[in-house]
Amino acid sequence: MGRLVCRWGMFISVGCGVGMGFRVGEVSVVLLKGDITEVEADAIVNAANSYLEHGGGVAGAIVRKGGWVIQEESREWVRRFGPVPVGGVAVTSAGRLKARYVIHAVGPRCGVEPVEKVGEAVRNVLLKAEELGLSSIAFPAISTGVFGCPYEAAALQMATAIREVAPRLAKVRRVLVVLYGDEAYNRFLEVFKKVFIG
Ligand code: AR6
């Protein structure tokens, strides 16, 4: 059964979790439904704010499960380098999580900053993952919670950025997008199908 999984553009159910897989050259892009803190990947992406003060949503879940060390390292990052710009990234360890790193990505607050900053954040995460030599990375739906961006707009930014950067990646081979709940999953899936299949 395991050998049947991870076929692209179709429903997959074993090994890759439950979700839909797409392919861009050598890179597989898989949409999953679930909790990002449970996902196995070399790095998981946090939907962070510029001060890396991890309150609710994905950030809160990451610190609760990974440990306070992630918040401490985040504060140390801000002390050394200053606040992370919108669209930018910062890296810490992942504490007790299965991942090696947390890449903190600052998305836009919709209505305040342009939604295109989601795409910028995604591009910067992928380039950082490549720089770190990682082969797999898991994204949440950046900016679609507390920061108030609509699922469709954020999904279009994310899918377009992945499609654009993927051909330039030599190390990253697996990009997971982890959606929390049916609504987020279904809306992202529609957009990803349009971008990756047409
Ligand atoms: N796994 C996967 N997705 C999740 C999880 C989880 N465990 N928990 C929530 N989501 P948000 P933002 C979804 O608010 O909009 C924080 O306070 C959620 O349903 O985490 O970028 C930070 O510290 C939504 O679709 O991130 C910042 O201040 C998506 O993840 C601010 O919120 C993003 O929701 C960042 O806001």
Extract the runs of DSSP E, i.e. beta strands, from 25-63.
Answer: 27-33, 43-48
Please report whether residue 29 resides in a domain: yes
- Using alpha carbons, select from 41, 21, 16 the residue that is nearest to residue 136: 41
Domain residues for 97?
13-197
Please report whether residue 4 resides in a domain: no
Instruction: Decide if 74 contacts 92 (C-beta within 8 A).
Output: yes
pLDDT in tens, 114-135: 999 999 999 999 999 999 999 9
**Which segments of 132-174 does DSSP mark as H helices, in order?**
151-165
Please report whether residue 132 resides in a domain: yes
Q: Which atom of ligand 1 is least distant from the CA of 56?
A: 17
d(CA 39, CA 42): 10
CATH number at residue 94: 3.40.220.10
Q: Among 19-23, 89-93, 125-129, which is the least confidently predicted range?
A: 19-23
Q: Which atom of ligand 1 is least distant from the CA of 181?
A: 19
Cα of 26 from ligand 1 centre, angstroms: 29
Query: Nearest-5° angle of CA 148, CA 38, CA 73?
Result: 70
Q: Does the pTM exceed 0.85?
A: yes
Q: List the residue whose alpha carbon is closest to atom 33 of ligand 1.
A: 145
Cα of 95 from ligand 1 centre, angstroms: 19
Q: How many domains does the chain have?
A: 1
Please report whether residue 6 resides in a domain: no
**12 has pLDDT over 70:** no
DSSP string over 63-95: HHHH-THHHHHHHHHHHHH-SPPTT-EEEEE-T
Please report whether residue 7 resides in a domain: no
pLDDT in tens, 146-158: 999 999 999 999 9
Please report whether residue 92 resides in a domain: yes
Q: Which of 49, 58, 64 to mutate to test the pocket of ligand 1 (most atoms within 8 A of CB)?
A: 58
**10 has pLDDT over 90:** no
